[in-house]
A and B are shown apart, each in its own frame.
Chain A
Amino acid sequence: MGDVIAAALILAGVALSLLAGIGLQRFPDVFARMHAATKPATLGLILVLAGAGLRVGDRGDVAKLVLAAALQFVTAPVAMHMVGRAAYRAGTELSPATTVDELGESGDAPPGPVDGAAEAQR
């Protein structure tokens, strides 16, 4: 019974990885691709690690899996947030299908590279 649950969790998590790969091919710009690529980074990996945790016997191994899952939960959103902000400030082209650009409307983040002086004033 435990094996069946583990297999189901692993297959669900792995399917999310596949969806991320497809999304990376199909979506038009960096921000849409980021949206696809971050799903397996949290939910998909948690599912796979939970499935592996049901299978490994040692308690220390389960602790390592929990550590990896916790690290991923803390770091993945931060990392992708930084990539998105950097890509926008560096002037990456938005897809023509974009309908809302709140950063551009607010005037907070002018397109184009931000130099050190402008960052210090903020």
Chain B
Amino acid sequence: MTAATDVAFAVLAVAAVLCTVRLVRGSSLADRIVALDALLVVIVSGIAVHAARTGEGTYLDVLVVIALLGFVGTTTVARFIEHRGP
């Protein structure tokens, strides 16, 4: 299990870097929101992989909170760009 979670962490790190590059380069606000949402999914996956590695659920509350806050943030900025333009 440790080997599998090692690989999973490495893959998630690459995915996080790719999302961050798009977050910085952007070119429009909508691009950045999409990249940030994907980055939050990577973070939530990372917490779940950590829980699978150790077998303990200490950080699962954080996982639920991040999943909820990601939705609120994405929706808020979407409303914002709808009125302001890209």
Q: Which residues of A contact B (CB under 8 A)?
A: 3, 6-7, 10-11, 13-15, 17-18, 20-22, 24-25, 30, 33-34, 37, 40-41, 44-45, 48-49, 51-52, 54-58, 60-61, 64-65, 67-68, 71-72, 75-76, 78-80, 82-83, 85-87, 89-92, 112-116
* B1→A40 contact, CB < 8 A: no
* A7→B30 contact, CB < 8 A: no
Chain B interfacial residues counted at CB < 8 A: 53
In the complex, which residue of chain A has the Cβ closest to the Cβ of B60? A64
CB distance from A52 to the nearest CB of B (A): 4
B5-45 at interface with A (beta carbon < 8 Å): 5, 7-8, 11-12, 14-19, 21-22, 28, 30-31, 33-35, 37-38, 41-42, 44-45
* A40→B57 contact, CB < 8 A: no
Residue from A17, A25, A67 in contact with B41 in the complex, judged by beta carbons closer than 8 Å: A17
C-alpha gap A103/B15 in the complex (Å): 32
Instruction: Give chain B's interface secondary structure class.
Output: helix
C-alpha gap A84/B75 in the complex (Å): 11
C-alpha gap A110/B49 in the complex (Å): 44
